[in-house]
Amino acid sequence: MPLKVGDIAPEFELPAVIGEDRTTFRLADHRGKKNVVLAFYPLDWTSTCTNHIPTYQSALEQLAKLDAQVAAVSVDTLPSHIAWQQKSIGMMGFPILSDAYPHGAVAEQYGLLRKGDPIPGISERAVFVIDKSGKVAFAQVYQLNDVPDIDDVIEALDTLK
Amino acid sequence: MALQIGDLAPDFELPAVRGEEKMQFKLSDHRGKNVVIAFYPMDWTPTCSTQIPTLQQNLERFAAQGTQVVAISTDSIPSHIAWQQKSIGSIGFPIASDFFPHGAVAKKYGVLREEPPVAGVSNRATFLVDKTGKLAFAKIYEIKHQPDPEEIFAVLKTL
């Protein structure tokens, strides 16, 4: 079952890139400081994801004003995340996390790892807003082919002001 | 390494792409041919971006000796397709996706790296399976080392 509003968001730490810079993303580092928008997506290099992830880049200033840190997560590797930005979606100014090994461990913690068709082992497309106390303030799982509406996230963050 | 020359090569079936064409690759379908299995760590990394095209350059020579080539990494099918389109060029042999359960085939062949610094990827390793399904060559390379296809041609001559 995917995580629900009001649940405590499970802590995790994953390798990540911001643009080409390698870093580590720890959810707990944001506790008490920032709201976190956590965007799970199925795979680099696929069409809907290529539309989904840049929506956060376009809204990055607006999200910063709402005291929110964005992080995107897929089961792809860091070299894939870097190449995907360079060759497809452009450079993102927020971390893209690699949940590659153990395969989809964080997606599994959040109840999102798909084990059947169309591609076993990918994450659902799902967006969470985690407030500064570490609680889930917004949670939605989308159809794999749907681009999540950024306004859903903005509205949720507005209520946390 | 668990597998030895002369051992029966463990059978496997994985989703794969040949160029952009999606397919299934099953080792035992190729009984009667020799099969070169080239494990590599990751799409989009420099050594792999030379290893796979080197096999492509030798593809006709392999075919002339009744030899099928297959490459395997733990990346997804969309990654394999994009990697060819945007980096290494179209490859004329299957590139298989050992994606989920993650690295299951690499594990069967004893080449999955499970410890840091680079955990969860396959070692760079080449196996040659002969027409009867037995291993005729097996070698794990240093992760930055480029396998030399002449090593395989030398063994093919003896088969």
Q: How far apart are alpha carbons B139 and B151 in whole angstroms?
A: 10
Q: How far apart are alpha carbons A68 and A57 in whole angstroms?
A: 13
Give residue B2's pLDDT: 75
The CA-atom distances, in angstroms, between A37 and each of A60, A69, A126, A133 are 11, 6, 11, 13
Architecture of domain B30-158: 3-Layer(aba) Sandwich (3.40)
DSSP conformational letter for B12: -
Q: Mean pLDDT over all residues of chain B?
A: 95
Give residue A49's pLDDT: 81
E strands, chain B, are: 13-18, 21-26, 34-39, 67-73, 95-97, 124-129, 135-141
Its pTM stands at: 0.95
Q: How far apart are alpha carbons B84 and B24 in whole angstroms?
A: 18
Residue B109: which pLDDT band, with cuts at 50, 70 and 90? Answer: very high
Interface test with B, best of A24, A76, A123 (most B CBs within 10 A): A76
In B, which residues are within 8 Å of A115 by CB distance? 100
Per-residue pLDDT at A71 exceeds 90: yes
If you measure CA to CA, which chain A residue comes closest to B121? A101
The string of pLDDT tens digits covering residues A106-154 is: 999 999 999 998 899 999 999 999 999 999 999 999 999 999 999 999 9
Per-residue pLDDT at B146 exceeds 60: yes
Q: Catalytic: which of A27, A49, A107, A157?
A: A49
Asked: is A13-158 a CATH 3.40.640.10 domain? The reply is no
Contacts 24+ apart (CB under 8 A), B17-22: B17/B77, B17/B80, B17/B81, B17/B84, B17/B94, B17/B95, B17/B97, B18/B91, B18/B92, B18/B93, B18/B94, B18/B95, B19/B84, B19/B90, B19/B91, B19/B92, B20/B81, B20/B84, B20/B85, B20/B90, B22/B77
Q: How far apart are alpha carbons B1 and B110 in whole angstroms?
A: 6
Give residue A77's pLDDT: 97
In A, which residues are within 8 Å of B87 by CB distance? 83, 87
| Domain map (residue ranges) of chain A | 13-158
Bridge partners of residue A135, in order along the sequence: A8
Min Cα–Cα distance to chain B from A30, Å: 26
Min Cα–Cα distance to chain A from B70, Å: 21
Smallest CA-to-CA distance from B118 within B79, B145, B144 is with B144
Q: Catalytic: which of B14, B37, B38, B48?
A: B48
Sorted by sequence, the CB contacts under 8 Å of residue B133 that are 6+ apart come out as B8, B9, B11, B27, B28, B31
The string of pLDDT tens digits covering residues A7-54 is: 999 999 999 999 999 999 999 999 999 999 999 999 999 988 889 999
Interface contact A46-B43, CB threshold 8 A:
no
Give residue B1's pLDDT: 52
> ipTM higher than 0.90?
yes
Percent above pLDDT 90 for chain A: 94
- What is the pLDDT averaged over residues B90-95? 98
